[in-house]
Structure 1
Amino acid sequence: MAQLLDDKDIDNALEGLDGWSRSGSSIIRTLALRSFPDAIALVDRVAETAEQRNHHPDIDIRWRKVTFACSTHALGGVTQLDLDLARTINELAEEQASS
């Protein structure tokens, strides 16, 4: 099972995660997409990945802005699972922007 990361490990990891920051017991990123359909398409791609991994972010959609919050709820904080998912979200967002 995943283990909670300490503050130093989270801060170090965030230095390499473009656009992500800490908010309480989660890491978050808000992305502005070109359109509402683009925002929904990104959410759909993230949902597929999250379902495969059985690790799901909290997602807030506001028109063309999408906020992802990653936290391992069962442990009450950030684990390596969250950092890995954040990296994947960044990759999917880059692919979405270039399509």
Structure 2
Amino acid sequence: MKKLSESEIHEKLESLEGWTYAKEAIHTTFEFENFKEAFTVMTRIAFEAEAQQHHPNWGNVYNQLEISLSTHDADGVTEKDFKLARTIEDIIEASS
């Protein structure tokens, strides 16, 4: 998978509200009603990430979920990261 240039990354980020680019990865944070909702969404994301064979770097504290995506084999951001980001957005939207 080809590593995207910074201009390509910023162009693609325009369609993903709340996502930013830093340190060779794209990042976002979500806040939920409580821990149970956050964990439920994490579980849904985990199944999709496994299906795509692409796993996020993430952290969860109570009702907050922080996600970072990068393609380690490419040492940066690729289309694979944006595919998973769009899937994550779809999951978040469906759970709202």
Q: Given the two structures, how large is their TM-score scaled by the length of structure 2?
A: 0.97
* Structure 2 unmatched runs, 5+: none
What is the CA-CA distance between 1:18 and the residue it aligns to?
Answer: 1.1
Alignment correspondent of 1:7: 6
Alignment correspondent of 1:69: 68
Contact 1:59 1:69 in 2 (8 A): yes
Aligned counterparts of 1:56 and 1:66: Cα–Cα separation in 2: 15
What is the CA-CA distance between 1:22 and the residue it aligns to?
Answer: 0.7
Fraction of identical pairs, as percent: 32
Letter paired with 1:51:
E
Instruction: State the number of aligned residues.
Output: 96
What is the CA-CA distance between 1:16 and the residue it aligns to?
Answer: 0.7
Alignment correspondent of 2:47: 48
Alignment correspondent of 1:81: 80
Letter paired with 1:63:
Y
Give the root-mean-square deviation of aligned CA atoms. Answer: 0.7
* Structure 1 unmatched runs, 5+: none
Aligned counterparts of 1:90 and 1:19: Cα–Cα separation in 2: 10
Letter paired with 2:50:
E
Alignment correspondent of 1:29: 28
